[in-house]
């Protein structure tokens, strides 16, 4: 059973993005991704202030089972990272769309956000997998 909130946007590499007003976007990994990986034990995140482009690697989520790279669905400047995950990586499992968020970005170009997949489109690619 996968949760795919309708109000979010998605990438083919299983990241989600939430537009939080103005140019700000919060990014994390989907319920599908956290289920595949299992219990999370380490999360590597970038430094605030870094500039990223769509498709750049922005971190690693490591479970007991495997390590997985996380890719940015948009371009911009990293303004915050979820420092809670250093102590509590399991938040990515228990609340992947809420307290398990990974990074907050200030978008260069807000129109880029609209090119991301909708929840329906993401659901489609999951059934194809």
- Neighbouring C-beta atoms of residue 83, cutoff 10 Å: 9
Distance CA 40, CA 64 (A): 7
CB of 26 to other proteins, least distance (A): 24
Region 27-56 residues binding other proteins, contact defined as CB under 8 A: 38-39, 41-42, 44
Tell me if 67 contacts other proteins by CB under 8 A.
yes
Q: Are strands 76-81 and 103-107 parallel, antiparallel or unpaired?
A: antiparallel
Q: Can you read off the two tokens belonging to residue 123?
A: 């659901």
Number of residues that bind other proteins (CB under 8 A): 11
Residue 56 CB, nearest distance to other proteins (Å)? 17
Nearest-approach distance from CB 120 to other proteins, in angstroms: 27
């Amino acid at each position: 059973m996968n949760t795919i909130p309708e109000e979010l946007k998605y990438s083919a590499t299983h990241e989600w993005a939430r537009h939080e007003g103005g140019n700000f976007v919060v990014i994390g990994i989907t319920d599908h991704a956290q289920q595949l990986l299992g219990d999370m034990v380490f999360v590597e995140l970038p430094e605030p202030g870094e500039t990223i482009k769509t498709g750049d690697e922005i971190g690693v989520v490591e479970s007991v089972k495997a390590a997985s790279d996380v890719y940015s669905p948009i371009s911009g400047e990293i303004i915050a990272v979820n420092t809670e995950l250093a102590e509590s990586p399991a938040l990515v499992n228990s609340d992947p769309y809420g307290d398990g968020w990974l990074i907050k970005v200030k978008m260069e170009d807000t129109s880029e956000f609209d090119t991301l997949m909708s929840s329906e489109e993401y659901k489609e690619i999951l059934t194809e997998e």
